[in-house]
A and B are shown apart, each in its own frame.
Chain A
Amino acid sequence: MRLRPLLDAWNSFFFAPQSPLPIASFRILYGLLVIATLLLLRPDWLTWYGPHAWVSLSTMHTLEPGSRLNLFTILPQNDAWIEALFWVFLASASLLTVGFFTRINSLLVFLCLTSIQQRNLYITSGGDTFLRLAGFFLIFAPAGAALSIDRLIRIRRGKEGVSILPCSPWAQRMIQFELALLYFSSFCWKVQGAPWIQGTALYYVYHLDEFHRFSVPSLFLRPAALKLGSWMALALEFSLGVLIWIKELRYFILVLGVLFHLWLEYSLNIPMFEWDVLAAYVLFIEPDDMMRAWNWMRERFSAEALQRWRAF
């Protein structure tokens, strides 16, 4: 075995320049998801993060000691400042979505996101965690290199041409790695539990009242179906963690992943998690395929628009 091919593969994977379209598309989805998370939190913002919240800042320090990136520790503890943080966070997430001062806003969004989670870790879910981790690596990514106001400004100032320039994708790869690790780790945790191996796990999950969302046809709640579902979940999590790296299998696995998460979104009340995870699927789409899909949609919709115009 020789070292050179390994080094070349490493370099090619992390550094071979590629179109920033996937990471820019992810930036937009990510920004929208952060905004949605904030809007869901809005009615309870002070309930969770205010000076008289369910959990006080000092209790958080006691229960979760250690130095932490947390803006709440430097903010004056009164309603006005905590409310101001909400609006700064929302503004920053909106600017990140449209790609204006992208780098600064990706940093600010990460800081705000990690702060609200560190302020109360006991209401944080898997979706929040994934947003936080993806946000960390998004800071380093060329997320404003396409589909952004930053790029329009650069073009206007003559600093960049019309064609999108390729960039090093190492930060994008780290978000992809995080997503794959999420699935593989979930798989590893599950195979340690007898109910998942025996196929009874989903039986209990679907009989937990607190997770019910929309009504599920009784056919899917039969023990045989739930047993099959438990094993399919294991197989899918393994595939999304490991086999997704095999190019020939990737799109097939992604489609199964989308169906899996849509089913969970319909049947279980786990807010935002499915969308937070699905957003990162865009990073696994080849930029050329993305361009093809975009061109196809543009041609189709512009042709339709032309036809409608003529009919009018």
Chain B
Amino acid sequence: MPTEFPGTAQRGHFNTPQKLKYVVINLFLLVHILAISCWALPFNNPLIFSIRNLVRPYFIWSGLFQSWDMFSPDPKRVNSYLEAIVIYKDGSSILWSFPRMELLGPNERYAKERYRKFEENLQNDQYSGLRPDAARYVARLNNRESSPPKTIMLVVRWSEIIPRTDETYDRGPWNSNIFFTYDVQPEDLK
């Protein structure tokens, strides 16, 4: 199925549907090149902002949204991981750890990387709305019929990466913080 368009060969020998197709494709190309560039490039001026706002519903609907800011502008400077403290109705408690990439074997680490991404977002205050769901999931995972979980606490532990003066690397002390507490309801365990 060879396809040629006006402008590439034999100008003027195209019927109306072909010309219409050519115009529609060109419009599609122009709009998408402009819109995708304005969306993806980190340039901030009022015109780019207004184009982003204009195309936002279409991009959100179609899945054309994108961001290419991995390790930038500033890479993360702390090692961190998440744990959950599960307190049961009978007063006992356990410490449950989210999968830690550095403790997994190479193959498992490759397959479980989405947990790292999820944990990263869970720590981000912008997505704090994720935390109740995560707490409920931890409660279901650690449910005991004899004594169901009463409270879930999400804990972040972190250690700073400190450059030494001799150009080697030092690991700062481990700190921890309970950043979310959830009271488990009976319906959460279903």
Where the two chains meet, the residues of A that have a C-beta atom closer than 8 Å to any C-beta of B are 7-8, 10-12, 14-17, 40-41, 43-44, 48, 52-56, 59, 62-64, 66-69, 110, 114, 117-118, 122-126, 129, 132-133, 136, 142, 145, 160, 165-168, 170, 174, 177-178, 181-182, 184-186, 188-190, 192-196, 200-205, 207-214, 222-224, 269-271
Contact = CB atoms under 8 A, between A and B. Distances in A.
Contact of A69 (B63, B101, B137): B63
A33 to B, nearest CB: 14
A240 B25 CA distance: 26
B5 A185 contact: no
Interface string B85-124: 0000000000000001110001001111111111001100
Contacts of A62: 129
A15 B60 CA distance: 29
B133 A59 contact: yes
B54 interface: no
A166 B163 CA distance: 57
B75 A195 contact: yes
B113 A209 contact: no
Interface in B115-141: 115-118, 121-122, 127, 129-130, 132-134, 137, 140
A177 to B, nearest CB: 7
A17 B3 contact: yes
A68 B64 CA distance: 11
B145 interface: no
B163 A203 contact: yes
B68 A189 contact: yes
Interface of A, helix, strand, loop or mixed by DSSP: helix
B73 A189 contact: yes
A69 B79 contact: no
Interface of B: 1-8, 22, 25-26, 29, 32-33, 36-37, 40-43, 56-57, 60-64, 66-77, 79, 81, 100-102, 106, 109-118, 121-122, 127, 129-130, 132-134, 137, 140, 161, 163, 167, 169
Contacts of A40: 110-111
Contact of B161 (A16, A55, A208): A208
A190 B72 contact: yes
Q: 4 closest pairs, A vs B, by CB?
A: A193-B73, A11-B7, A114-B63, A123-B114
Contacts of B40: 181-182, 185
Contact of B72 (A63, A66, A192): A192
Contact of A56 (B26, B117, B133): B133
A155 B66 CA distance: 40
A165 B1 contact: yes
A136 to B, nearest CB: 6
A222 to B, nearest CB: 7
Given A63-B127, A69-B61, A167-B1, A15 B7 contact: yes
B14 to A, nearest CB: 12
A17 B62 contact: no
A167 B2 contact: yes
A210 B106 contact: no
Contacts of A59: 129-130, 132-133
A186 B62 contact: no
A200 B163 contact: yes
A261 to B, nearest CB: 13
Contacts of A110: 63
B75 A67 contact: no
A2 B163 CA distance: 56
Nearest to B122: A122
B116 A145 contact: no
Contacts of A69: 61-63
B118 A181 contact: no
Given A189-B73, A209-B79, A184 B118 contact: no
B37 to A, nearest CB: 7
A62 to B, nearest CB: 6
Given A15-B4, A56-B133, 13 more contacts: A14-B26, A17-B3, A59-B130, A62-B129, A63-B127, A117-B63, A122-B122, A126-B68, A170-B29, A186-B72, A192-B72, A202-B75, A210-B102
B121 to A, nearest CB: 4
Contacts of B2: 17, 165-167
A204 B61 contact: no
B25 to A, nearest CB: 6
A201 B71 contact: yes
A290 B134 CA distance: 49
A196 B73 contact: yes
B138 to A, nearest CB: 9
Contacts of B114: 41, 44, 48, 123, 125
